[in-house]
Amino acid sequence: IGIGRKYEFNAVPMLVWVGVLLLVTSFIWTGHAQKAGLIAQGVLSIHLIGIAFWLGSFLPLRRMCSSPESENLYKIAERFGTHAIFYICLLLISGLIFAYILIGDLSLLLSTVYGNVFLMKITLVSALLGLGALNKFRLVPSIKLDPSIGAKRLRDSIQIEMFIALLILSLSGFLTTSTTLPMGG
């Protein structure tokens, strides 16, 4: 029984990574990146993995906000904020590079449907980054001062972040499936 449990424990993370790789591969083989070449596919892969880490943290963090153990919440949220800076920078840089590869000319942001929808997406991403900064610099530290109020405010902020993320993903889906690239791709 002990050997089976050890095998099962080690297999789960491996299966998760296989699933992540299959998901990323499906995006780079079927979307705009497939037409844009290997560099675009590599940049999109980095972007998607960054998204997975950032958005994947929302539910566990929100759930922890309802836990009576606010000391753990503070430590984990603080550590998350420190790590998030690194992968959000990767996410933003890769996203901007990918957007430049796909759009090519900044004037097309204002003169095409793709560009207009992309600007809406960037506006929502900016709002999400603003909320993340609020969380890191105001709400997480407030957990130490007043755990119940700080945790509630962080939970509410994460809920708003989740809604904005859903809007961003919806716009991304629209860009990928229902619009043509400005440069005719």
Per-residue pLDDT, 34: 63
In whole angstroms, what is the distance from residue 89 CA to residue 54 CA?
A: 11
Cα dihedral sign for 56, 59, 65, 70? Answer: negative
Give the per-residue pLDDT at 110. Answer: 86
Q: Would you state the pLDDT for residue 150? A: 93
- pLDDT per position in the chain (185 positions), as tens? 455 555 545 666 777 777 777 776 666 666 666 666 778 888 888 888 888 888 888 989 999 998 877 678 999 999 998 988 888 899 999 989 988 888 888 888 888 888 899 999 999 999 999 999 999 999 999 999 999 999 999 999 999 999 999 999 899 888 877 777 776 55
pLDDT of residue 64: 92
pLDDT of residue 129: 93
pLDDT at 127: 96
The pLDDT assigned to 123 comes to: 96
Question: Are 51 and 23 in contact, with CB atoms under 8 Å apart?
Answer: no
Per-residue pLDDT at 136: 94
Residue 103: the pLDDT is 83
Residue 67 sits at φ, ψ, to 5 deg, of -80, 145
